[in-house]
Amino acid sequence: MTKPETKGGGARWALFAPALLFAPCAFVYAVFFIWPQASLLAISATDAAGLTLAHYQRFAGDSYYWEILGRTLGLGAAVTAITLVLGVPTAYLLARVQSRWAGFLLLLTTFPLLVSAVVRSFGWMVLFFRDGLLSHGLMALGFADKPVQTMYTMAGVIIALAQVLLPLMILTLHGVFKSIDRDLEYAAMSLGARPIVALGLVTLRLASGGIVAGSLLVFSLAISAFATPSLVGGARANVMATAIYEQAIELLDWPFAAALATILLVTVLALSLAYGALLEGRGEREAAR
Amino acid sequence: MTISFRSPLGFVLLLLAVLAFGYLLLPILVVVAAPLGDTGYLAFPPRGLTFKWYAAALHDTRYLSALAVSLRIALTSALIACTIGVAAAYGLTRFSFPGRRLLEAIFLSPLILPTLVLAVGLTLFFTRTGLLVGSWKLVAAHVIVCTPYVLRVSLPVLRRFDRSLEEAARNLGASPVMAFFLVVLPVVRPGIVAGTVLAFITSFDEVVLALFLAEPGAPTLPVMIYSAVQLGFEPSVAAVSGLLVLATLGLMILYHLLGTFGGRRN
């Protein structure tokens, strides 16, 4: 960054311009972001008598909520695993394909992102019902001998949510693989490494920071997702997000909803800090080279 | 290609990628195709062929007014987010001052905040303070989630911008404001347009904040679809969703073509 110019009327401009430029954004954020979130924290830790940890103790003392938290983290892990298995090969091929197809396939990856998660979850619901394609397909392939209900199960939520988040994994990894020089792969192979060894020792190792970053991104989005778990999972597959909604909208227990929201927020923040640290570390390593 | 598709490894990679694309597109295909069936309930693959559900969706005033609400809110939110976002992005790239990185991190932080947490906080906030009425509550919420997208797209574009062009304009006597609108803006416009489009789509597709904050009598389209899907599987809901998918596809192709032509012109 160069210093702003100071000649002529520039000195006054340099002083007031930043303030004027930031003022609208800072005002909107202060009123509609920082203030509400701060009061959310305050509400989660107060009751009629003043400061209290009662709402958090209620969470800590009830195995039902621990189960929900565990289920939420399990959902995050399963969704991350699926998006990795499908996302790594797809992103790698997208980054290495040299033709007009590459652009088209990238568009095809982006397109689902533009369709609301509600609509995409709805598509899965049609497939998941006892009478749907999935059930018939499993029976035809001999995996099941009677109709299978995937609707209102965790398995259904995992399948649907992994589809919702897969484009983000592919797009993140695409950037990572693009930045890895393919000559390094050629070099490894010309030194005698078989393709699979070159891929594992060179490409995947260089991409590991990006892979972890993409996984953390998908994981934190999966544990905070609401629409898909609520539509596909319903009441029988309760996760943190649906539990917060239930407390707030159906039971009108706002302080407890605020406490649950804070617990979710802290989990996501911790993951994001790890994500930021990883990206930062990668940048420094690259700069050092 | 480093790895031939004919080698076993290449074949496995290709197979997984094909699976991934099938997986990505399957539910979207279902939503478009299922309402074509004339069974009276939703089935995939559809049986028979009828356009009556699509025709009914186009004439359903409930969905049409929800569409109008969604478009109005998305347009308002995207324009506000674009204005305050671009101003802030310009300030962040143009001036250096202590705490600049922190400010940038704060402006981007709604990206990592679960929207449900934001929704609970804002609902409580609006109830307690009585601030804002009607659809402005939802607009305020969407501005918060959309502005980071504008920033994320326009920050790199503004950083790449050649500052000497702006200085040349200033040396020729342009005021800072004139230099911004006559020199900086035309150059970085594609980035700003992309950020605003992204903000529009984010607001248009968003359901959680809308569930909490939309006016009871005027739900947005995603909220209408969400509620209808929870109640039951009418083919008309699928037809509305299908139309939405087709419209999105059409607009994406249009945007891409415009972008390609713009790229050639340069």
pLDDT on residue A107: 87
| Per-residue pLDDT reduced to its tens digit, A171-203 | 989 888 888 887 887 888 888 777 777 777 778
Tell me the shortest Cα–Cα distance from A25 to chain B, in angstroms.
5
Tell me the shortest Cα–Cα distance from A195 to chain B, in angstroms.
7
Q: Which residue of B has its CA nearest to A10?
A: B176
Q: Which ipTM did the prediction report? A: 0.85
Most confident of B18-22, B54-58, B191-195: B18-22
| Per-residue pLDDT reduced to its tens digit, A42-56 | 888 887 777 888 888
pLDDT(B72) > 70? yes
| Percent over 70 (pLDDT), chain B | 94
Which has more confidence, B117 or A54?
B117
Mean pLDDT of B246-261: 82
The 10 Å CB-count burial string (b at 16+, else e) for B195-230 is: bbbbbbbbbbbbbbbbbbbbeeebbbbbbbbbebbe
B90 Cβ under 8 Å from any chain A Cβ: yes
pLDDT(B266) > 50? no
Task: Tell me the pLDDT of chain A averaged across its residues.
Answer: 84
Angle at CA B177, nearest 5°, toward B172 and B179? 35
Mean pLDDT of B60-70: 90
For the record, the structure tokens of A183 come out as 């000559």
pLDDT on residue B262: 52
Which range has the worst mean pLDDT, A73-82, A127-136, B65-74, B137-146?
A: A127-136
pLDDT on residue A3: 45
How many Cβ pairs within 8 Å bridge chains A and B? Answer: 268
pLDDT(A279) > 90? no
| Percent over 90 (pLDDT), chain B | 36
For the record, the structure tokens of A200 come out as 């594992």
pLDDT on residue A51: 82
Most confident of A76-80, A182-186, A264-268: A76-80
Count the neighbouring beta carbons within 10 Å of the beta carbon of residue A53: 13
Site from B32, B112, B197 to mutate, A interface, most A CB atoms within 10 angstroms? B112
Query: Which of B27, B43, B107 has the CB atom closest to A124's CB atom?
Result: B27
- Using pLDDT thresholds of 50, 70 and 90, give the confidence band for residue B188: confident
| CATH code for position A180 | 1.10.3720.10
Chain B positions in Cβ-Cβ contact with residue A199 (cut-off 8 Å): 3, 9
Residue A34 lies in a domain: no
- Using pLDDT thresholds of 50, 70 and 90, give the confidence band for residue A5: very low
| Per-residue pLDDT reduced to its tens digit, B83-111 | 999 999 998 888 888 888 888 888 988 88
pLDDT on residue A226: 93
pLDDT on residue A289: 44
Chain B positions in Cβ-Cβ contact with residue A117 (cut-off 8 Å): 205, 207
- Using pLDDT thresholds of 50, 70 and 90, give the confidence band for residue A281: low
For the record, the structure tokens of A117 come out as 């998660």
Q: What is the DSSP string of B202-244?
A: HHHH--HHHHHHS-TTS--HHHHHHHHHHH---HHHHHHHHHH
B236 Cβ under 8 Å from any chain A Cβ: no
Q: What gap in Å lies between CA A70 and CA A59, rounded to an integer? A: 13
pLDDT(A219) > 90? yes
Residue A41 lies in a domain: no
Residue A244 lies in a domain: yes
pLDDT on residue A87: 93
Chain B positions in Cβ-Cβ contact with residue A18 (cut-off 8 Å): 91, 94-95, 97
Q: What is the DSSP string of B250-264?
A: HHHHHHHHHHHHHHH
Domains of chain B, start order: 61-242 (1.10.3720.10)
Chain B positions in Cβ-Cβ contact with residue A31 (cut-off 8 Å): 131
pLDDT(A208) > 90? no
Tell me the shortest Cα–Cα distance from A76 to chain B, in angstroms.
14
pLDDT(A216) > 80? yes
pLDDT(A283) > 60? no
Q: Which one, of B166, B168, B198, B23, lies nearest residue B93 by Cα?
A: B166
Q: What gap in Å lies between CA B6 and CA A94, rounded to an integer? A: 17
Phi/psi at B67 (5° precision): -60, -45
Residue A97 lies in a domain: yes
pLDDT on residue A287: 45
pLDDT(A285) > 70? no
Number of helices (H), then strands (E), belonging to chain A: the values are 14, 2
pLDDT on residue B28: 92
pLDDT(B162) > 90? no
Tell me the shortest Cα–Cα distance from B137 to chain A, in angstroms.
9
| Per-residue pLDDT reduced to its tens digit, A12-29 | 666 777 788 888 899 999
Structural domain harbouring A212: 56-283
Residue A8 lies in a domain: no
Phi/psi at A47 (5° precision): -140, -170
CB contact under 8 A, B114 and A241: yes
pLDDT on residue B3: 59
Chain B positions in Cβ-Cβ contact with residue A33 (cut-off 8 Å): 110, 118, 144
The residues in B 7-26 lying below 8 A from A, measured between CB atoms, are 7, 9-10, 12-14, 16-17, 19-21, 23-26
- Using pLDDT thresholds of 50, 70 and 90, give the confidence band for residue A149: confident
Q: Which residue of B has its CA nearest to A241?
A: B116
Query: Which of A31, A111, A120 has the CB atom closest to B252's CB atom?
Result: A111
pLDDT on residue A60: 85
- Using pLDDT thresholds of 50, 70 and 90, give the confidence band for residue B245: very high
**Number of separate domains in chain A:** 1
For the record, the structure tokens of B80 come out as 């506000």
CB contact under 8 A, B121 and A31: no
B3 Cβ under 8 Å from any chain A Cβ: yes
pLDDT(A245) > 50? yes
Chain B positions in Cβ-Cβ contact with residue A190 (cut-off 8 Å): none
